[in-house]
Amino acid sequence: MARERRPRDHDGPDHHGIRRQAAGAGRRMSLHPALAAGKTAVITGAADGIGLAAAKIFRELGLNVVMADVTGRKLKQEAEAIGAIAVPTDVADRAAVEALKAVAIEKFGAVDVLMNNAGVGGGGDAFAGDDAWSRILDVNLWGVINGVQVFGEEMALSGRPGLIINTGSKQGITQPPGDTAYNVSKAAVKALTEGLAHTLRQTEDCQVTAHLLIPGYTFTGMTRRGPGDKPDAAWTPEQVVHFMLARIEAGDFYILCPDNDVTRAVDERRMAWAMGDIIENRPALSRWHPDWKDAFASFASSGVDKP
């Protein structure tokens, strides 16, 4: 969810109409049956950013929305403003997530959409202290595991259409150096969501689908650097959510979001190079290795249209 600054990965302008599609997708398309009026969505990390944008857009679509976050006062204010239910929740605490589910079931009877979006940054490198690593993994990984396990099985066995959306990161795929703890947490969310998608496919009569949301540079509380307007390079959270809905309707599992800075084609080359480290037996993270700098630059630029 956080931006990856140069020479790290960040996403950019879409020269094939993706931005135009994202800007109004929520109103134009035929939505997934779990996103119908009267259905219920639970969103974690909902007091700000992508989670808050999803809550607002889901309410516009007529869904009941239960918003969860550790930020109690802001969460309550935002929920009241859109007619949603606020449940202060530490997603790292399994009991708190079970209490969140209990509120949703008591209020609305069932949960149709689960968006595991809560996340934190700033974990540090491989030698960072235990406290930093524990915080990152507790929220970014165990928060998602808790959501999937507390809500997911009941949703899968219900026979109703449903969605489970987990927020990942490009850093969990390309692994830029600097915040290894964050990268590990998001790589694990990718693996978890892939495994979840398979489990749901293997569950008889299951109508629930899993999706991995992979945002580009998005202007949120996590990426905001002090006061000021949104940088030109960033997407708004609303753009991300509209794009997410369009790609869910298209059947995408990997929802790889662009932004206003780097093309999807560049992202694809970066991801292909990362996998090539294994296939070609290159040094780990060779993209940032001085001996491989020129080779990566040539690979990244080949076949990519210039802005």
| Strand pairing category for 161-167 and 113-116 | parallel
Rounded to whole angstroms, how far apart are CA atoms 108 and 40?
Answer: 7
Two tokens at 223?
């990426």
pLDDT of residue 72: 86
Q: What's the confidence (pLDDT) of residue 270?
A: 94
Q: Identify whether the C-beta of residue 169 lies closer than 8 Å to the C-beta of residue 1.
A: yes
> Which parts of the chain sit beneath pLDDT 70?
1-30, 220-228, 230, 303-307
Beta strands in the chain (DSSP E): 40-44, 64-69, 85-88, 113-116, 161-167, 207-214, 254-256
Is position 217 annotated as part of the catalytic site? Answer: no
CA distances, 108 to each of 39, 102, 260 (Å): 8, 10, 39
d(CA 47, CA 68): 7
Cis-peptide into 161, omega within 30 deg: no
Question: Of 70, 61, 7, 73, whose CA–CA distance to 30 is shortest?
Answer: 61
Strand duo 64-69 + 40-44: pairing? parallel
Residue of 58, 133, 182, 292 marked catalytic = 182
- Residues 44 and 262: their CA atoms lie apart, in Å, by 28
- For the residues of 167-233, what is the DSSP string, one character each? E--THHHH--TT-HHHHHHHHHHHHHHHHHHHHHHHSTT-EEEEEEEE--SB-STTT--SSSPPPTT
**Prediction pTM value:** 0.88
pLDDT value at residue 225: 59
Question: CA nearest 33: which of 245, 284, 258?
Answer: 245
